[in-house]
């Protein structure tokens, strides 16, 4: 398959190198277009007020991998690849493997998920891969599963255009309990701004945060019953796969607002 791979950890990150090399060694046609530095938590930001530059990267990836470093956001990378760098569209857009989970409401901030979502916006099925640890460095199990999933999609393509948000527990391959399709949970944070003073006496703030709680998603989302939540299955060492789309319309909300009469005077 023709695969476009991006990320938000940067082109030199171990996760994207492990993913790209694994898939290239499996015989896939792999192109990598990643930010030239870490661009985590950039969401779906695009560069509009300055030019975007991309340079060919050599000697980092498998010899069969074509790679560029882009000075834009993750979404910039995918958009640039699809409209300027690639000669023909890929079969899949992949993003990751991210260093850290993208679960629950974290996906709204995630550059990893946004890079994959850019593929969906352009009509290409996409997958975001994340390793659920910020310190665990063994990306091989996640890359191994990525290879299995890509080969599965080559045999049985997705019936609808969607993004698969894949989170892999930070354990050895034999410790993975299985694969589960999930729904997006809600992960709330206590956002704390650490107030500091620089050597010149000027105040600045450093954003930190801790998970406060994991709770059920809001009611009325018309989701199938008894589907496990992504933040829950990861605790049990299952790989979580959550299908996502970019249309955020709240269908139940439309129904509840249908009898509203809002006068203009």
Task: Determine the Cα–Cα distance for residues 210 and 191; give it in Å rounded to an integer.
Answer: 7
Give the per-residue pLDDT at 238.
97
Listed in sequence order, the residues at least 6 apart from 227 whose beta carbon sits closer than 8 Å to its beta carbon are 181, 182, 183
Report whether pLDDT(10) > 90: yes
Q: What does the block give as tokens for 88?
A: 């023909």
What's the pTM value of the predicted model, to 2 decimals? 0.90
pLDDT tens digits, one per residue of 24-80? 999 999 999 999 988 887 888 888 899 999 999 998 999 999 999 999 899 999 999
- What CA–CA distances, in Å, run from 78 to 17, 46, 98, 232? 17, 11, 16, 31
Q: What is the mean pLDDT of residues 143-160?
A: 95
**CB-CB neighbours of 260 under 10 Å:** 6
pLDDT tens digits, one per residue of 179-194? 999 998 877 766 678 8
> DSSP 3-state assignment of 54?
strand
pLDDT tens digits, one per residue of 84-138? 999 999 999 999 899 999 998 888 889 999 999 999 999 999 999 999 999 999 9
Average pLDDT over the chain reads 90
Alpha helices in the chain (DSSP H): 14-25, 74-80, 111-121, 140-155, 230-235, 251-257
Phi, psi at 25, each rounded to 5°: -65, -25
* 17 in Cβ contact with 61 (< 8 Å): yes
Q: What does the block give as tokens for 223?
A: 């989701």
* 18 in Cβ contact with 140 (< 8 Å): yes
Phi, psi at 2, each rounded to 5°: -85, 120
Give the per-residue pLDDT at 214.
58
Task: Determine the Cα–Cα distance for residues 195 and 54; give it in Å rounded to an integer.
Answer: 36
215 — pLDDT class (breaks 50, 70, 90): low
Task: Determine the Cα–Cα distance for residues 141 and 55; give it in Å rounded to an integer.
Answer: 30
206 — pLDDT class (breaks 50, 70, 90): confident
pLDDT tens digits, one per residue of 237-260? 999 999 999 988 877 888 888 888
Q: What is the mean pLDDT of residues 188-204?
A: 85
Listed in sequence order, the residues at least 6 apart from 184 whose beta carbon sits closer than 8 Å to its beta carbon are 103, 104, 105, 107, 165, 217, 229, 230, 242, 244
DSSP assignment string, 164-206: EEEEE-SS-GGG--EEEE-B--EEEEEEEEEEEE-TTS-EEEE
């Amino acid at each position: 398959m023709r695969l476009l791979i991006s990320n938000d950890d940067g082109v030199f990150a171990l996760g994207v190198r492990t993913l790209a090399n694994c898939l290239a060694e499996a015989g896939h046609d792999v192109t990598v277009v990643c930010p030239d530095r870490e661009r985590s938590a950039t969401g779906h930001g695009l560069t509009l007020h300055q030019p975007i530059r991309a340079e060919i990267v050599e000697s980092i990836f498998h010899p069969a991998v074509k790679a560029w470093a882009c000075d834009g956001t993750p979404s910039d990378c995918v958009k640039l690849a699809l409209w300027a760098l690639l000669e023909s569209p890929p079969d899949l857009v992949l993003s990751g493997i991210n260093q850290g989970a993208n679960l629950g409401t974290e996906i709204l901030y995630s550059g990893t998920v946004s890079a994959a979502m850019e593929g969906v916006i352009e009509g290409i099925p996409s997958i975001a891969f994340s390793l659920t640890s910020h310190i665990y460095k063994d990306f091989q199990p996640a890359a191994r599963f990525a290879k299995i999933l890509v080969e599965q999609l080559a045999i049985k393509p997705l019936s609808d255009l969607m993004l698969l948000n894949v989170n892999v527990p930070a354990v050895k391959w034999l410790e993975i309990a299985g694969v589960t399709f999930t729904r997006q949970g809600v992960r709330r944070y206590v956002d704390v701004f650490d107030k500091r003073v620089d050597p010149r006496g000027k105040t600045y703030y450093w954003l930190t945060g801790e998970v406060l709680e994991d709770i059920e998603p809001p009611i009325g989302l018309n989701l199938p019953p008894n589907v496990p939540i992504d933040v829950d299955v990861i605790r049990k060492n299952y790989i979580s796969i959550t299908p996502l789309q970019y249309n955020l319309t709240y269908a139940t909300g439309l129904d509840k607002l249908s009898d509203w009469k809002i006068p203009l005077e």
